[in-house]
Amino acid sequence: MSEKGKAIQELRNQNKTYKEISEILGVSKSLISYWCSSVPPSEELIKIQQIKQSKNAQRLKLTPESTKKEVTLPLSFFQPCSEAKEAFSNFLQDSHKQ
């Protein structure tokens, strides 16, 4: 095993992320992935990843159904381009009045 490979695995065993290892050693994430593919993650690293995934999932939640608006486009949107632009402009003006 190369010195870089050993260093990558050692940092991974210290629960460093691929990004952190990449910054420390100046190597690509794909190289890190290659060297870490045969090393199972520690239980602590698995817990850290689960917490991060949970936080990301909470941050990315969609808006509740009750806040969504349904918009029906008038048939005029399917007219030739210049007429559609005018119809769209009128539609926007009307929707702001409501």
Domain that holds residue 23: 1-38
Confidence of residue 26 (pLDDT cuts 50, 70, 90): very high
> What does the pLDDT read at residue 23?
94
Residue 67 has pLDDT above 70, yes or no: no
In a domain, 63, yes or no: no
In a domain, 7, yes or no: yes
In a domain, 67, yes or no: no
In a domain, 57, yes or no: no
Tally helices (H) and strands (E) across the chain: 5, 0
> What does the pLDDT read at residue 35?
86
In a domain, 52, yes or no: no
In a domain, 62, yes or no: no
Rounded to two decimals, the pTM is: 0.47
In a domain, 43, yes or no: no
> What does the pLDDT read at residue 63?
53
Q: Rounded distance, CA 96 to CA 10, Å?
A: 60
Residue 14 has pLDDT above 60, yes or no: yes
In a domain, 3, yes or no: yes
Confidence of residue 86 (pLDDT cuts 50, 70, 90): confident
Q: Rounded distance, CA 6 to CA 17, Å?
A: 15
Structurally, how many domains does the chain consist of? 2
